[in-house]
Amino acid sequence: MASTLGEVRQLSVIDCEGSPRERGQAHGEALRPLIQLGLERWMDALGVVHTMDPERYIDDFLSNTHYLATIEQLAPGLLDEVRGIAAGADRPFRLLLAYNLMDEEWAYSKARRLPAPGCSVIGMRSPEGGKPILAQTMDIPSLHDGTQSVLRVRPGDDPDALVFTAAGMIGLNGCNDAGIGVVVNNLEMLPSSTRGLPVAFVIRGLLGRTSLSDAGEFLRSVPHAIGQHYALGSPEGLASFECSAGGVIQDSTTERLLHTNHPLLAVDCVGDPEVAYARSRTRERYSYLLDRVSKWEDVDRPVVENMLTDTSVPVSLAPGRGVMTFGAVSIELSVPPRMRVAPGPPHVTPFVEVQFSASSDSRVEAILHA
């Protein structure tokens, strides 16, 4: 898979069926080279940032937090899925577990001096009652570039889901065939807890819900590990939640939802957040989205996707300073939803639609981008 702009990019779509362990095993086996590549880059980066053996750092991280116990209690099936990924990828479980705690590791390690992650979220519903649209750019460390993947999850007892992710991780955002969609923004300045449920497991928990009200109740019922904004949508409408160890606040907005990486509702910031705001350009990105939306009477999917391609603020961030726009998604919330993915910065990587049904009998489907 290419990871350099201007080259052909391949988006792997992996069928993950059966029990949690079987789903993880399929993921790990199909994406083994990419998982091993991502883990190697990540370990190298940890060693450089912390000037210590990365294996020791990961052991310290897992020993000094309580995420494993919380996941065992609240999401044991997803923990089995991570065990399956580790087995399929032929890598230790503890490495895959830590790899899936991306946002939580950022909170644990304030020594990192990379630019702050800067995801931008748009949720729109036309006044005429059209289908709601959720979309976002996903900005994460550039070391993950080239591992962009989609999991086509078929659990059997829960809704089928399309999950955009980095190979080896259980999910960054996505939608399910009941019409539920979820996209997110990191809010690192809000209170965190080493005993909360990590973000990736919350996202997958939401994708197991069948209604917007049920998804909202799930967010209110679990303890949260770090500050995170969850934008939810379904044919019923849109819902916006700012969650942290300090609690859950729901926005009353139902027709338009814009969010970047500063809280719009929560006021319990820890320390001075201005440095993080400046690094992630969060206010500038929010102002850009607000200005663009105000100029359109009817914001449809092409308009939303075009907004995510901006390079002036920028919203779509090329690789450079350690963080990049890993990818972007747009989800039209019908039943089932229509999900489109750009596996890279959307100003150079086209969006392509990913189907709930495989186009062939192969477990791995590849979509190429020129």
pLDDT tens readout for residues 215-247: 999 999 999 999 999 999 999 999 999 999 999
Please name the amino acid found at residue 39.
L
What stretch of H or E contains 163? strand 161-166
- Return the C-alpha torsion angle 189, 195, 199, 201, nearest 10: 180
Report pLDDT for 127: 58
| Averaged pLDDT, 278-289 | 93
- Which DSSP letter does residue 309 get? T
What does the pLDDT look like over 329-345, one tens digit per residue? 999 999 999 999 999 99
* Residue 6 confidence (pLDDT) above 80: no
> 64: buried, middle or exposed (CB in 10 Å: 19+, 13-18, 0-12)?
exposed
Q: Sketch the domain layout of the chain as residue ranges.
A: 9-17+111-359
Under 8 Å between Cβ of 316 and 333: no
Q: How many CB atoms lie within 10 A of CB 359?
A: 9
* CATH tag, 9-17+111-359: 3.60.60.10
What does the pLDDT look like over 92-149, one tens digit per residue? 999 999 999 999 999 998 744 455 557 999 999 865 567 899 999 999 999 999 999 9
> 24: buried, middle or exposed (CB in 10 Å: 19+, 13-18, 0-12)?
buried
pTM over 0.85: yes
